[in-house]
Chains A and B, each alone.
Chain A
Amino acid sequence: MNNFAYAKATNAAQAIEQLNGNTQNKIVAGGTNINDLLKYFVTQADKLVDINPFIDNHAITPLENGGVRLGALVTNADTAYNPVIESKYPLLSKAILAGASAQIRNMATNGGNLNQRTRCYYFYDVNTPCNKREPGSGCSAIKGYNRIHAILGQSENCIAVFPSDMCVALAALNATVNITGPDGDRVLAFADYHRLPGDTPHIDNNLKHGEIITGIDLPAKGFEKNYSYLKLRDRASYSFALVSVATGLDLDGTIINEARIALGGVAHKPWRVTAAEDFLKGKEATQDNFAAAADIILQGAQGYEYNNFKIPLAKRAIIRNGMMALNPDSQRPGAQPSL
């Protein structure tokens, strides 16, 4: 780690003052990602501004519209095990519990989850070129070992994936992100929060320097009757997704009123294609219809030498998870495939 200073902030105004417009002054909350990035010299800091002393943003509270607000500083574990989240938004609960380890979930915050960086091996290895870490240096993954990399939405500059599980569920649930900053408060739809790499792969999301996430709002509709989170990875647990799927279904008998399908591990942001969800409207919840929806979601997918397998795997995962959502009890610890 390089030398850096440390300051506490008890509210957003203090944090903004401490950040002082210097992009090398950075916010720390749970610290599970930034402390690791600092150790590897992937990130450097002049100062860490600790926002844990914030008085607000530590609670999960009901909203007047029937939804729920997740405080940005609530830990992932406290969110996943919150009785309201478990009963009204079990898809979110399952997705969070599929990520990281129990220790990390006890530390990591909801706001931090959105702002974590990719786990691309080349991004982490400061001895190799990486456009995300060092713009203009090149992408080592495109012609390198790219097993974990993107098949959708990537660019010639970057094929990294966003590693979160929690955010896949938040995308499926149409969450919104509450932000405060020097220019006041604003709200972003979840789909507008993370970015595709394009020719600016060093910018992961639309949070500007000096801005802070204060909370994440969930709309009233939680798909608590028919939902499933499926995560496929190289180990049974404690590993990032090769492909993950969050599915929520609103059913009338066996007919789909509304479907939500979001994918993780395949792109620079949680991947959702509303045309596929529109296709499923009014159709039977069958393997054939989920397969047709998967073809729409995966249109334009492009693999590389070591991750071509993700395209057929993602299709099968979408179908399997659609069927699992009909029977949420078929879900297993670690979001493994149903037996």
Chain B
Amino acid sequence: METNNTHTTSLRVNGTDYRLDVLPWVSLLDALREKLDLTGTKKGCDHGQCGACTVLVDGKRVLSCLTLAVMKDGSDVTTIEGIAKNQELHPLQKAFIEHDAFQCGYCTPGQICSGIGMLKEGKAHTREEVAELMSGNLCRCGASKGIIDALMEVKEGGGYE
């Protein structure tokens, strides 16, 4: 059954085009980690409750654990590996370092992808709104204050495209 049930799926990931043969139940998260060896995107809960697997698909932040790879045929995916440009950290990555916005670091790739998605959406104007619109990314170490500090700094500074 498996050989007949694979679907050729085209994905552009961090600017590189791939053609993957995937089974229908393979999540985008597993395709990125297991087939493309892009292990920056983390598997936290694998059930859409923690946000660690957040990536940008066609510019929008989504949960890769609840996304079937086969359903994203033709999409443009950005993971944490594609955020820095030419060895230069993204402003949000720099701000995370400055504000101690992580401890163990496991939620960080998802936090940064989600944060970039949030900044592009342009719906968060106050600290309270930033916290609300980042609530899908949990930090068990308790670095949420630093994360929001970093996001507020980048939001006000601009240049995060």
Contact = CB atoms under 8 A, between A and B. Distances in A.
B5 A102 contact: no
A18 to B, nearest CB: 13
Chain A interface: which size bin? Answer: 20 to 34
B5 A237 contact: no
Interface string B33-69: 0000000000000111001001000001111001110
Contacts of A4: 24-25
Taking chain B's interface residues, is the majority helix, strand, or loop, or is none over half, making it mixed? mixed
A13 interface: no
B123 interface: yes
A328 interface: no
Contacts of A39: 46-47
Contacts, number: 92
B16 to A, nearest CB: 24
8 contacts: A31-B71, A50-B71, A81-B123, A103-B63, A104-B48, A107-B62, A107-B67, A333-B129
Contacts of A28: 68, 71
A31 B135 contact: no
Contacts of B78: none
Contact of A102 (B7, B70, B121): B121
Contacts of B1: 3
A82 interface: no
Contacts of A3: 1-2, 5, 23, 25
A5 B62 CA distance: 24
Interface string B61-91: 1110011101100000000000000000000
A27 to B, nearest CB: 12
A292 interface: no
B25 A101 contact: no
B25 A102 contact: no
Contact of B133 (A38, A52, A102, A332): A102
A99 B96 CA distance: 27
A104 B63 contact: yes
A104 to B, nearest CB: 6
B118 interface: yes
Contact of B136 (A6, A52, A102, A333): A102
- Which among A31, A52, A81, A102 has the greatest number of chain B C-beta atoms within 10 A? A102
The 10 A-B residue pairs with the shortest CB-CB distance in the complex, in nearest-first order: A101-B136, A6-B24, A237-B135, A333-B132, A238-B135, A1-B25, A334-B132, A106-B60, A103-B63, A35-B66
Interface centre among B51, B66, B128 (most CB of A within 10 A): B66
B131 interface: yes
B136 A38 contact: no
A32 interface: yes
A36 interface: yes
